């Protein structure tokens, strides 16, 4: 490209522009002195050279820009890595199916976790209910045992009280024992004293009581019970 720009034809054209006096002189300049005209020519020549150089630089820059624009850009490794491959309809369907499967799996896991939590809560409730029933049964058993112990203690106390009580006298006919006159009221005419009451007979005799007295009994007055049968003043001699 540089060789095409610096061809002999272009070079001659630039030299012609520099040396052409028709472009650098006019009606007024031809009348100037020779020194001024020479200076002007030199200035014009330098300006022409600079103009040609600038033209060549611009042409080279434009050609380079066109070449760079027309050249295909090779993809870099980083671009190849970061750019995702085109997704076809089959790949899109597969990805959608995978997404649905993942969502379904997540829903199934969540449902399983919820069911497991509900089952664990039910198990805890059953355990708590069983523990409460066991505690109630233990309390009832303890109360029953306490009642039984109290009943046994009461029965033992009753037996002990019955054992400590004096034994009842043997069944025998009531007997009217003579006692001192100061012990109680006495039936008049008998010594020792016979308390007033139902009929009295001599013990071992044929009388039918209901009271009996062991003789001998001194009869000093009337004999309401008939103890002195021979009227010698002494009853129940035998």
At 115-162, the pLDDT tens digits run 999 999 999 999 999 999 999 999 999 999 999 889 888 888 888 887
The pLDDT value recorded for residue 10 is 63
Establish if 190 belongs to a structural domain. Answer: yes
pTM of the model: 0.28
Measured in residues, the chain has a length of 238
Q: Of the residues 10, 41, 69, which one is the last residue of a structural domain?
A: 69
**Which range among 33-42, 47-56, 58-67 shows the weakest confidence by mean pLDDT?**
33-42
Establish if 37 belongs to a structural domain. Answer: yes
Examine the domain organization and report whether 183 and 224 are in the same domain: yes
Examine the domain organization and report whether 117 and 61 are in the same domain: no
Domain that holds residue 141: 109-160
Calpha distance 58→66 (Å, rounded): 12
Establish if 128 belongs to a structural domain. Answer: yes
Calpha distance 218→232 (Å, rounded): 9
Contact 19/48 with Cβ under 8 angstroms? no
CA distances (Å), 102 to each of 99, 108, 110, 201, 237, in order? 5, 10, 12, 122, 130
The pLDDT confidence band at residue 25, using thresholds 50, 70 and 90, is very low
Establish if 86 belongs to a structural domain. Answer: no
The pLDDT value recorded for residue 127 is 95
Choice between 82 and 216, residue whose per-residue pLDDT is larger? 216
- Per-residue pLDDT at 85 exceeds 70: no
The pLDDT value recorded for residue 16 is 66
Establish if 74 belongs to a structural domain. Answer: no
Calpha distance 67→69 (Å, rounded): 5
- Residue 165's SS3 state is coil
The pLDDT value recorded for residue 84 is 57
The pLDDT value recorded for residue 123 is 94
Calpha distance 1→5 (Å, rounded): 6
Calpha distance 212→221 (Å, rounded): 19
Contact 234/223 with Cβ under 8 angstroms? no
The pLDDT value recorded for residue 125 is 95
Examine the domain organization and report whether 6 and 64 are in the same domain: yes
- Residue 192's SS3 state is coil
Spatial CB neighbours of 40, under 8 Å, sequence gap ≥ 6:
24, 29, 32
The pLDDT confidence band at residue 87, using thresholds 50, 70 and 90, is low
Q: What is the crossing angle of helices 8-19 and 34-70, to 10°?
A: 150
Q: Of the residues 95, 127, 160, which one is the last residue of a structural domain?
A: 160
Examine the domain organization and report whether 153 and 184 are in the same domain: no
Establish if 141 belongs to a structural domain. Answer: yes
Examine the domain organization and report whether 56 and 7 are in the same domain: yes
Q: Of the residues 133, 160, 187, which one is the last residue of a structural domain?
A: 160
Examine the domain organization and report whether 131 and 179 are in the same domain: no
The pLDDT confidence band at residue 168, using thresholds 50, 70 and 90, is very low
Structural domains of the chain, count: 3
Calpha distance 180→120 (Å, rounded): 94
């Amino acid at each position: 490209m540089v060789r095409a720009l610096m061809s002999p034809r272009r070079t001659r054209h630039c030299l012609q522009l520099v040396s052409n006096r028709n472009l650098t002189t006019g009606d007024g300049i031809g009348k100037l002195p020779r020194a001024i005209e020479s200076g002007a020519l030199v200035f014009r020549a330098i300006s022409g050279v600079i103009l040609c150089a600038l033209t060549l630089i611009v042409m080279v820059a434009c050609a380079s820009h066109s070449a760079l624009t027309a050249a295909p850009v090779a993809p870099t490794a980083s671009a190849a890595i970061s750019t995702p491959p085109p997704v076809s309809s089959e790949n899109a369907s597969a990805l959608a199916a995978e997404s649905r499967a993942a969502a379904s799996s997540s829903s199934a896991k969540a449902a399983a976790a919820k069911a497991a939590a509900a089952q664990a809560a039910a198990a805890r409730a059953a355990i708590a209910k069983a523990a409460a029933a066991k505690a109630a049964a233990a309390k009832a058993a303890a109360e029953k045992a306490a009642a039984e112990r109290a009943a046994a203690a009461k029965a033992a106390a009753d037996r002990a009280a019955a054992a400590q009580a004096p034994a009842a006298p043997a069944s025998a006919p009531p007997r009217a024992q003579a006692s001192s006159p100061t012990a109680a009221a006495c039936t008049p005419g008998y010594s020792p004293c016979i308390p007033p009451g139902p009929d009295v007979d001599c013990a071992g005799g044929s009388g039918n009581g209901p009271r009996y007295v062991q003789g001998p009994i001194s009869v000093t007055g009337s004999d309401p019970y008939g103890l002195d049968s021979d009227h010698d003043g002494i009853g129940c001699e035998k």
